[in-house]
Amino acid sequence: MLFSKKFSLPLGFSFMGVNAGLKKEDLDFGVIYSTEKANAAAVFTENVLCGAPLVIGKKHLKKGFLNAIAVNSKNANVHTGEQGLRDALLTCELVAEKLNLPNAELVLPSSTGVIGEILPMDKIKRGIECLDRELGTSRKNFTNFCRAILTTDTTIKWAIVEVGKAKLVGIAKGAGMVSPSLATMLVFLLTDAKIAPHELKAMLKKSVSHSFNSLTIDGDMSTSDTVAIMANGLAGEVDLAEFYRALHSLNLHLGQKMLRDGEGITKVIELRIKNCSNSKDAEAIAKSILNSFLVKTAIFGESPNWGRIIMAIGKTKIKKIKPHLIKIFLLSRGKKILLSDVNLPQNASNYQSVLKTLKKKEVTLEIDLNLGDYEKTFWGTDVSDQSVKLNAEYIS
Protein backbone atom coordinates (compact mmCIF):
# COMPACT_ATOMS: atom_id res chain seq x y z
CA MET A 1 0.00 0.00 0.00
CA LEU A 2 1.42 3.37 -1.04
CA PHE A 3 1.01 6.16 1.49
CA SER A 4 0.33 9.65 0.25
CA LYS A 5 3.43 11.84 0.01
CA LYS A 6 1.39 15.02 -0.10
CA PHE A 7 -0.28 16.46 2.97
CA SER A 8 -3.98 16.28 2.19
CA LEU A 9 -6.38 15.53 5.05
CA PRO A 10 -9.85 13.96 4.83
CA LEU A 11 -12.64 16.50 4.33
CA GLY A 12 -14.38 17.98 7.35
CA PHE A 13 -11.77 17.31 10.05
CA SER A 14 -9.94 19.98 12.03
CA PHE A 15 -7.33 19.74 14.76
CA MET A 16 -5.90 21.51 17.77
CA GLY A 17 -2.92 20.92 20.02
CA VAL A 18 -1.91 23.30 22.84
CA ASN A 19 -0.02 23.50 26.08
CA ALA A 20 -2.70 23.60 28.77
CA GLY A 21 -0.18 23.45 31.59
CA LEU A 22 -0.07 19.72 32.31
CA LYS A 23 3.50 19.71 31.01
CA LYS A 24 5.97 22.49 31.63
CA GLU A 25 6.53 23.37 27.98
CA ASP A 26 5.41 20.62 25.58
CA LEU A 27 1.93 20.46 24.07
CA ASP A 28 -0.40 18.34 26.20
CA PHE A 29 -4.03 18.78 25.13
CA GLY A 30 -5.58 18.16 21.73
CA VAL A 31 -8.93 17.92 19.99
CA ILE A 32 -10.08 16.38 16.71
CA TYR A 33 -13.35 17.78 15.36
CA SER A 34 -15.54 16.66 12.48
CA THR A 35 -17.97 19.22 11.10
CA GLU A 36 -20.35 16.37 10.28
CA LYS A 37 -21.54 13.79 12.77
CA ALA A 38 -19.36 10.81 11.98
CA ASN A 39 -20.04 7.11 12.16
CA ALA A 40 -17.59 5.76 14.70
CA ALA A 41 -16.19 2.66 16.38
CA ALA A 42 -13.36 1.84 18.76
CA VAL A 43 -11.53 -0.96 20.49
CA PHE A 44 -10.02 -0.57 23.94
CA THR A 45 -7.53 -2.26 26.23
CA GLU A 46 -8.52 -5.55 27.87
CA ASN A 47 -6.89 -4.45 31.14
CA VAL A 48 -9.65 -4.76 33.78
CA LEU A 49 -8.34 -1.68 35.60
CA CYS A 50 -8.84 0.59 32.62
CA GLY A 51 -8.93 4.36 32.88
CA ALA A 52 -11.97 6.58 33.45
CA PRO A 53 -11.93 7.93 29.86
CA LEU A 54 -12.42 4.39 28.56
CA VAL A 55 -15.40 3.78 30.84
CA ILE A 56 -17.03 6.97 29.59
CA GLY A 57 -15.91 6.42 26.00
CA LYS A 58 -17.50 2.98 25.78
CA LYS A 59 -20.83 4.49 26.85
CA HIS A 60 -20.55 7.33 24.35
CA LEU A 61 -19.85 4.96 21.47
CA LYS A 62 -22.86 2.71 22.04
CA LYS A 63 -24.86 4.57 19.39
CA GLY A 64 -21.93 4.56 16.95
CA PHE A 65 -21.50 8.31 16.40
CA LEU A 66 -18.89 10.94 17.25
CA ASN A 67 -18.14 14.56 16.39
CA ALA A 68 -14.99 15.03 18.43
CA ILE A 69 -12.14 13.38 20.31
CA ALA A 70 -10.49 15.17 23.25
CA VAL A 71 -7.07 13.95 24.38
CA ASN A 72 -4.64 14.92 27.12
CA SER A 73 -1.17 13.58 27.83
CA LYS A 74 0.89 13.65 31.06
CA ASN A 75 -2.03 12.26 33.16
CA ALA A 76 -3.78 8.95 32.37
CA ASN A 77 -6.79 9.53 34.65
CA VAL A 78 -6.53 5.90 35.78
CA HIS A 79 -7.30 4.54 39.26
CA THR A 80 -8.88 7.87 40.17
CA GLY A 81 -12.28 6.56 41.33
CA GLU A 82 -15.53 8.46 40.93
CA GLN A 83 -13.66 11.75 40.61
CA GLY A 84 -11.90 10.44 37.52
CA LEU A 85 -15.20 9.48 35.92
CA ARG A 86 -16.68 12.90 36.67
CA ASP A 87 -13.62 14.60 35.20
CA ALA A 88 -13.72 12.54 31.99
CA LEU A 89 -17.42 13.29 31.56
CA LEU A 90 -16.94 16.99 32.34
CA THR A 91 -14.22 17.18 29.69
CA CYS A 92 -16.70 15.85 27.13
CA GLU A 93 -19.42 18.24 28.28
CA LEU A 94 -17.16 21.28 28.05
CA VAL A 95 -15.82 20.32 24.62
CA ALA A 96 -19.38 19.68 23.36
CA GLU A 97 -20.49 23.06 24.66
CA LYS A 98 -17.55 24.84 23.08
CA LEU A 99 -18.18 23.15 19.72
CA ASN A 100 -21.97 23.68 19.90
CA LEU A 101 -22.66 19.94 19.83
CA PRO A 102 -26.10 18.71 20.98
CA ASN A 103 -24.69 16.45 23.71
CA ALA A 104 -21.52 15.18 25.38
CA GLU A 105 -22.01 11.66 23.98
CA LEU A 106 -20.62 12.91 20.67
CA VAL A 107 -17.20 13.44 22.30
CA LEU A 108 -14.73 10.63 23.00
CA PRO A 109 -12.38 11.33 25.94
CA SER A 110 -8.84 9.96 25.97
CA SER A 111 -5.93 10.34 28.37
CA THR A 112 -2.38 9.00 28.55
CA GLY A 113 0.41 9.44 31.06
CA VAL A 114 0.97 8.73 34.75
CA ILE A 115 -1.48 6.45 36.57
CA GLY A 116 -3.06 7.37 39.89
CA GLU A 117 -3.16 11.16 39.74
CA ILE A 118 -6.34 13.26 39.67
CA LEU A 119 -6.81 15.09 36.38
CA PRO A 120 -6.12 18.83 36.87
CA MET A 121 -9.40 20.09 35.47
CA ASP A 122 -8.42 23.74 35.76
CA LYS A 123 -5.73 23.05 33.15
CA ILE A 124 -8.03 20.92 30.99
CA LYS A 125 -10.54 23.80 30.98
CA ARG A 126 -7.75 26.14 29.94
CA GLY A 127 -7.03 23.89 26.97
CA ILE A 128 -10.68 23.70 25.96
CA GLU A 129 -10.92 27.49 26.01
CA CYS A 130 -8.32 27.54 23.21
CA LEU A 131 -10.63 25.79 20.74
CA ASP A 132 -11.98 29.05 19.28
CA ARG A 133 -8.59 30.30 18.16
CA GLU A 134 -6.49 27.13 17.78
CA LEU A 135 -8.76 24.66 15.94
CA GLY A 136 -7.92 24.46 12.25
CA THR A 137 -7.10 22.39 9.18
CA SER A 138 -3.52 23.48 8.49
CA ARG A 139 -0.50 21.23 8.71
CA LYS A 140 0.53 23.10 11.86
CA ASN A 141 -2.85 22.42 13.50
CA PHE A 142 -2.52 18.74 12.61
CA THR A 143 1.09 18.46 13.77
CA ASN A 144 0.28 20.22 17.04
CA PHE A 145 -2.40 17.63 17.77
CA CYS A 146 0.06 14.81 16.99
CA ARG A 147 2.56 16.36 19.41
CA ALA A 148 0.01 16.95 22.16
CA ILE A 149 -0.74 13.25 22.65
CA LEU A 150 2.87 12.08 23.10
CA THR A 151 4.41 10.77 26.32
CA THR A 152 7.82 9.05 26.03
CA ASP A 153 7.62 9.01 22.22
CA THR A 154 10.52 10.66 20.45
CA THR A 155 8.56 11.49 17.32
CA ILE A 156 5.04 12.01 16.03
CA LYS A 157 3.51 9.12 14.09
CA TRP A 158 1.02 9.52 11.25
CA ALA A 159 0.31 8.53 7.66
CA ILE A 160 -2.29 9.22 4.97
CA VAL A 161 -3.66 6.84 2.35
CA GLU A 162 -6.18 7.44 -0.43
CA VAL A 163 -9.11 5.09 -1.09
CA GLY A 164 -10.94 6.07 -4.27
CA LYS A 165 -12.05 9.67 -3.76
CA ALA A 166 -11.73 9.35 0.02
CA LYS A 167 -8.75 9.76 2.32
CA LEU A 168 -7.82 7.92 5.50
CA VAL A 169 -5.38 9.40 8.00
CA GLY A 170 -3.97 7.60 11.03
CA ILE A 171 -2.40 9.27 14.06
CA ALA A 172 -0.67 7.25 16.77
CA LYS A 173 1.36 7.48 19.94
CA GLY A 174 3.09 4.67 21.75
CA ALA A 175 6.61 3.70 22.81
CA GLY A 176 6.29 1.68 26.02
CA MET A 177 3.93 -0.53 28.06
CA VAL A 178 3.24 -2.26 24.76
CA SER A 179 1.88 -5.79 24.59
CA PRO A 180 -0.77 -7.77 22.71
CA SER A 181 -4.34 -6.85 23.65
CA LEU A 182 -3.29 -3.36 22.67
CA ALA A 183 -0.40 -1.29 23.79
CA THR A 184 0.11 1.97 25.65
CA MET A 185 -1.05 3.55 22.57
CA LEU A 186 -3.62 5.89 21.24
CA VAL A 187 -4.58 5.54 17.59
CA PHE A 188 -7.07 7.79 15.85
CA LEU A 189 -8.20 6.87 12.33
CA LEU A 190 -10.13 9.49 10.39
CA THR A 191 -11.76 9.21 6.99
CA ASP A 192 -14.23 11.10 4.83
CA ALA A 193 -15.48 7.82 3.35
CA LYS A 194 -19.11 6.86 3.92
CA ILE A 195 -19.12 3.64 5.95
CA ALA A 196 -21.78 2.31 8.33
CA PRO A 197 -20.92 1.98 12.04
CA HIS A 198 -21.26 -1.83 12.08
CA GLU A 199 -18.96 -2.13 9.06
CA LEU A 200 -16.41 0.20 10.66
CA LYS A 201 -16.45 -1.82 13.88
CA ALA A 202 -16.04 -5.16 12.10
CA MET A 203 -13.14 -3.92 9.97
CA LEU A 204 -11.44 -2.24 12.92
CA LYS A 205 -11.62 -5.33 15.15
CA LYS A 206 -10.30 -7.58 12.39
CA SER A 207 -7.42 -5.28 11.53
CA VAL A 208 -6.41 -4.62 15.14
CA SER A 209 -6.23 -8.37 15.76
CA HIS A 210 -3.60 -8.74 13.05
CA SER A 211 -1.72 -5.48 13.62
CA PHE A 212 -1.61 -3.77 17.03
CA ASN A 213 -2.55 -6.94 18.90
CA SER A 214 0.35 -8.73 17.24
CA LEU A 215 3.12 -6.52 18.57
CA THR A 216 4.87 -6.19 21.91
CA ILE A 217 7.70 -4.15 23.37
CA ASP A 218 7.73 -5.01 27.07
CA GLY A 219 4.85 -7.40 27.73
CA ASP A 220 2.84 -4.95 29.85
CA MET A 221 -0.78 -4.20 28.94
CA SER A 222 -1.72 -0.56 29.38
CA THR A 223 -4.80 0.77 31.14
CA SER A 224 -5.48 3.49 28.56
CA ASP A 225 -5.26 1.97 25.09
CA THR A 226 -7.71 3.20 22.50
CA VAL A 227 -7.98 2.68 18.75
CA ALA A 228 -10.86 4.78 17.41
CA ILE A 229 -12.12 5.41 13.89
CA MET A 230 -14.42 8.15 12.57
CA ALA A 231 -16.01 8.22 9.11
CA ASN A 232 -17.94 11.41 8.29
CA GLY A 233 -18.99 10.41 4.76
CA LEU A 234 -18.16 13.70 3.03
CA ALA A 235 -16.28 11.98 0.18
CA GLY A 236 -19.02 9.43 -0.47
CA GLU A 237 -19.02 5.66 -0.62
CA VAL A 238 -15.92 3.53 -1.25
CA ASP A 239 -15.21 -0.08 -2.11
CA LEU A 240 -15.23 -1.75 1.31
CA ALA A 241 -12.65 -4.39 0.43
CA GLU A 242 -10.29 -1.70 -0.83
CA PHE A 243 -10.93 0.38 2.28
CA TYR A 244 -10.12 -2.56 4.56
CA ARG A 245 -6.83 -3.17 2.76
CA ALA A 246 -5.95 0.50 3.20
CA LEU A 247 -6.98 0.48 6.85
CA HIS A 248 -4.98 -2.63 7.63
CA SER A 249 -1.89 -1.39 5.81
CA LEU A 250 -2.14 1.86 7.74
CA ASN A 251 -2.45 0.06 11.09
CA LEU A 252 0.53 -2.17 10.31
CA HIS A 253 2.52 0.91 9.31
CA LEU A 254 1.66 2.78 12.52
CA GLY A 255 2.43 -0.31 14.60
CA GLN A 256 5.88 -0.55 13.05
CA LYS A 257 6.46 3.13 13.78
CA MET A 258 5.67 2.47 17.45
CA LEU A 259 8.04 -0.47 17.62
CA ARG A 260 10.88 1.52 16.08
CA ASP A 261 10.27 4.27 18.63
CA GLY A 262 10.20 1.81 21.54
CA GLU A 263 11.78 3.01 24.76
CA GLY A 264 15.52 2.39 24.43
CA ILE A 265 15.18 -0.35 21.81
CA THR A 266 17.89 -1.00 19.22
CA LYS A 267 16.27 -3.77 17.17
CA VAL A 268 12.83 -4.74 15.88
CA ILE A 269 12.03 -8.46 15.80
CA GLU A 270 9.67 -9.99 13.27
CA LEU A 271 8.53 -13.41 14.44
CA ARG A 272 6.78 -15.75 12.03
CA ILE A 273 4.98 -18.67 13.61
CA LYS A 274 4.52 -21.39 10.98
CA ASN A 275 2.54 -24.62 10.90
CA CYS A 276 0.94 -24.17 14.31
CA SER A 277 -2.21 -26.03 15.37
CA ASN A 278 -4.34 -22.94 16.12
CA SER A 279 -4.35 -19.18 16.73
CA LYS A 280 -4.40 -19.48 20.54
CA ASP A 281 -1.22 -21.57 20.62
CA ALA A 282 0.49 -19.34 18.06
CA GLU A 283 -0.18 -16.24 20.16
CA ALA A 284 0.95 -17.95 23.37
CA ILE A 285 4.23 -19.04 21.78
CA ALA A 286 4.86 -15.67 20.16
CA LYS A 287 4.19 -13.75 23.37
CA SER A 288 6.43 -16.12 25.33
CA ILE A 289 9.31 -15.59 22.92
CA LEU A 290 8.94 -11.86 22.31
CA ASN A 291 8.36 -11.01 25.98
CA SER A 292 11.22 -13.18 27.25
CA PHE A 293 13.84 -11.02 28.91
CA LEU A 294 16.52 -13.58 27.99
CA VAL A 295 15.51 -13.68 24.33
CA LYS A 296 15.38 -9.87 24.19
CA THR A 297 18.83 -9.48 25.73
CA ALA A 298 20.27 -12.12 23.39
CA ILE A 299 18.97 -10.17 20.39
CA PHE A 300 20.33 -6.94 21.87
CA GLY A 301 23.72 -8.59 22.45
CA GLU A 302 23.64 -10.10 18.95
CA SER A 303 24.12 -13.53 20.50
CA PRO A 304 23.02 -16.66 18.56
CA ASN A 305 21.72 -18.23 21.76
CA TRP A 306 18.73 -20.03 20.24
CA GLY A 307 18.42 -22.16 23.37
CA ARG A 308 16.55 -19.25 24.94
CA ILE A 309 13.94 -19.49 22.18
CA ILE A 310 13.51 -23.20 22.88
CA MET A 311 13.05 -22.36 26.57
CA ALA A 312 10.44 -19.73 25.77
CA ILE A 313 8.48 -22.14 23.56
CA GLY A 314 8.55 -24.84 26.22
CA LYS A 315 7.38 -22.65 29.08
CA THR A 316 4.02 -22.19 27.37
CA LYS A 317 3.26 -25.75 28.61
CA ILE A 318 1.50 -26.59 25.34
CA LYS A 319 1.77 -30.35 25.54
CA LYS A 320 1.22 -31.03 21.84
CA ILE A 321 4.56 -29.35 21.02
CA LYS A 322 7.19 -31.95 20.11
CA PRO A 323 10.91 -31.08 20.25
CA HIS A 324 11.82 -33.25 17.26
CA LEU A 325 9.36 -31.30 15.07
CA ILE A 326 10.57 -27.77 15.86
CA LYS A 327 12.79 -25.89 13.44
CA ILE A 328 14.05 -22.37 14.13
CA PHE A 329 15.29 -20.19 11.29
CA LEU A 330 16.89 -16.77 11.04
CA LEU A 331 15.91 -15.03 7.81
CA SER A 332 18.28 -12.84 5.83
CA ARG A 333 17.39 -11.34 2.45
CA GLY A 334 14.82 -14.06 1.83
CA LYS A 335 17.22 -16.87 2.70
CA LYS A 336 16.70 -19.12 5.72
CA ILE A 337 19.55 -19.84 8.10
CA LEU A 338 18.82 -22.90 10.23
CA LEU A 339 19.40 -22.18 13.92
CA SER A 340 17.86 -25.22 15.58
CA ASP A 341 16.78 -28.69 14.49
CA VAL A 342 17.07 -31.49 17.03
CA ASN A 343 17.50 -34.03 14.24
CA LEU A 344 20.58 -32.40 12.72
CA PRO A 345 23.94 -31.27 14.12
CA GLN A 346 24.45 -27.53 13.96
CA ASN A 347 26.29 -26.32 10.90
CA ALA A 348 29.30 -24.36 12.12
CA SER A 349 29.61 -22.71 8.72
CA ASN A 350 26.38 -20.80 9.49
CA TYR A 351 27.91 -19.04 12.46
CA GLN A 352 29.35 -16.01 10.68
CA SER A 353 26.15 -15.55 8.65
CA VAL A 354 24.13 -15.64 11.87
CA LEU A 355 26.34 -13.06 13.55
CA LYS A 356 26.17 -10.77 10.52
CA THR A 357 22.36 -11.02 10.36
CA LEU A 358 21.96 -10.32 14.09
CA LYS A 359 23.79 -7.01 13.67
CA LYS A 360 20.92 -5.64 11.59
CA LYS A 361 18.33 -3.33 13.11
CA GLU A 362 15.53 -5.63 11.98
CA VAL A 363 15.78 -9.34 12.83
CA THR A 364 13.38 -11.91 11.38
CA LEU A 365 12.85 -15.29 13.08
CA GLU A 366 10.72 -18.17 11.85
CA ILE A 367 9.48 -20.91 14.16
CA ASP A 368 8.20 -23.97 12.30
CA LEU A 369 6.27 -26.15 14.74
CA ASN A 370 5.13 -28.75 12.19
CA LEU A 371 1.85 -29.24 14.03
CA GLY A 372 -0.81 -27.84 11.69
CA ASP A 373 -1.40 -25.22 9.03
CA TYR A 374 -2.04 -22.04 11.06
CA GLU A 375 0.47 -19.22 10.64
CA LYS A 376 0.71 -15.65 11.83
CA THR A 377 3.33 -12.93 12.09
CA PHE A 378 4.09 -11.04 15.30
CA TRP A 379 6.49 -8.22 16.10
CA GLY A 380 8.59 -7.27 19.12
CA THR A 381 11.82 -5.58 20.17
CA ASP A 382 15.03 -6.17 22.05
CA VAL A 383 15.74 -4.61 25.45
CA SER A 384 18.81 -2.49 26.20
CA ASP A 385 20.46 -0.84 29.18
CA GLN A 386 18.85 2.39 27.96
CA SER A 387 15.41 0.71 28.08
CA VAL A 388 15.94 -0.07 31.75
CA LYS A 389 17.19 3.44 32.50
CA LEU A 390 14.26 5.15 30.76
CA ASN A 391 11.67 3.09 32.57
CA ALA A 392 13.40 3.34 35.93
CA GLU A 393 13.30 7.12 35.70
CA TYR A 394 9.87 7.45 34.08
CA ILE A 395 7.45 10.06 35.32
CA SER A 396 5.70 11.51 32.27
**343: number of CA atoms within 13 Å, CB side?**
7
Question: Of 306, 10, 315, whose CA–CA distance to 167 is shortest?
Answer: 10
Cite the beta strand spans of 45-88 per DSSP E: 65-72
d(CA 391, CA 386): 9
Distances, alpha carbon 117 to alpha carbons 15, 112, 206, in Å? 27, 11, 34
* Residues sharing a CB contact under 8 Å with residue 385, sequence separation 6 or more, in sequence order: 264
368 forms beta bridges with: 274, 327
Q: At what angle do helices 307-314 and 279-290 cross, to 10 degrees?
A: 130
Cβ atoms of residues 45 and 181 within 8 Å = yes
Query: In 86-112, which positions are buried (b, 16+ CB within 10 angstroms) versus exposed (e)?
Result: ebbbbbbbbbbebbebeebbbbbbbbb
The distance between the two most distant Cα atoms of the chain, rounded to a whole number of Å, is: 72
Question: Of 204, 201, 286, 212, whose CA–CA distance to 247 is shortest?
Answer: 204
- Annotation marks residue 45 as catalytic: no
d(CA 92, CA 344): 63
Catalytic pick from 184, 223, 226, 381?
184
Estimate to the nearest angstrom the gap between the alpha carbon of 339 and the chain centroid: 31
Which positions are annotated as active-site residues?
Answer: 184
